[in-house]
Structure formats: C-alpha cells, structure tokens
Amino acid sequence: MAKESGIAMSIAVDDSSGSARTISNDITDWSLSTPRNVQIVTGIDKSAEERLQLLADFTVTLTGVFDDASNVAHAVFSTVPSSSVARTVTITISGQSLPNETFFNDYALTRPASGELTWSCPGTLAGGVVPTWA
C-alpha cells in the first residue's frame, strides 16, 4: 500500500439529460463527506453516551473556474436552477471510484474585485444508496 496525492484524479457529473461529463479540468478544489447519523439511546443507568448507528449520507461541494465551452462545467451546472434531476457524480482517485446519485441545490457564480470568475456547486445524496468506494 502506498500513500498518494490527489493529483491526476477525475470527476464526472451527469448533465441534466443524464450524460456523464468529465469536468475535472474546470474543478480547482472539491470536498466530500460520507457521514453516518447516530441516535443517542443512553439509559439513566449509564455514565457515558450509548449510541446506535443510523443512516449513511453523502455530500459534495465542487468549486472551479467558469468555462462555458460545450459539455463542461457551465453546461453541466447551468441547468441546476431549472431542472430537478438527480445526477451521478463519480469521483475517481487511483483506480478507486465513488459514484453517487446526487441532487445539486445551487450553482453559485462569484466575481470578486480581482476579476476571476468562479463557481461553486454543493450536492447531497439523492438515491438512498449507501456511498461505497469501489
């Protein structure tokens, strides 16, 4: 087993018609989380918390540079406000992939005084399938 960087990875996101688009070139940073809910079930006879593990979840936030060429980031995310479809997000690192059906709930553009035009797009698990690396 070898430690690795996040260099040379791939992220693909479905556009609103369900076609997977590899938009890695437009993404400058991203984050994902795969939390599990817990329920506290501590009885009054305990001196420490007792928990049950509950449902799994997935969230992702993709951030990048504006690119309105065909089939890249803007084409994929510009339909977020006008379409209510789950999109497959597939993150691939060193042969390991994490595909999830995801609802994106915003496509935010930012243009500060310095002039760069960037976007951010947060998403959450849509399909009820436990996030699993393969």
Q: Where are the domains of the chain?
A: 10-125
Rounded to two decimals, the pTM is: 0.89
**Rounded Cα distance, 55 and 9, in Å:** 28
Quick: pLDDT tens for 23-45: 999 999 999 999 999 999 999 99
Q: How far is CA 71 from CA 13, 19, 22, 78, in A?
A: 10, 9, 8, 11
pLDDT tens digits along 81-134: 999 999 999 999 998 999 999 999 999 999 999 999 999 999 999 989 999 999
- Domain 10-125, CATH 2.40.30 — does that match? yes
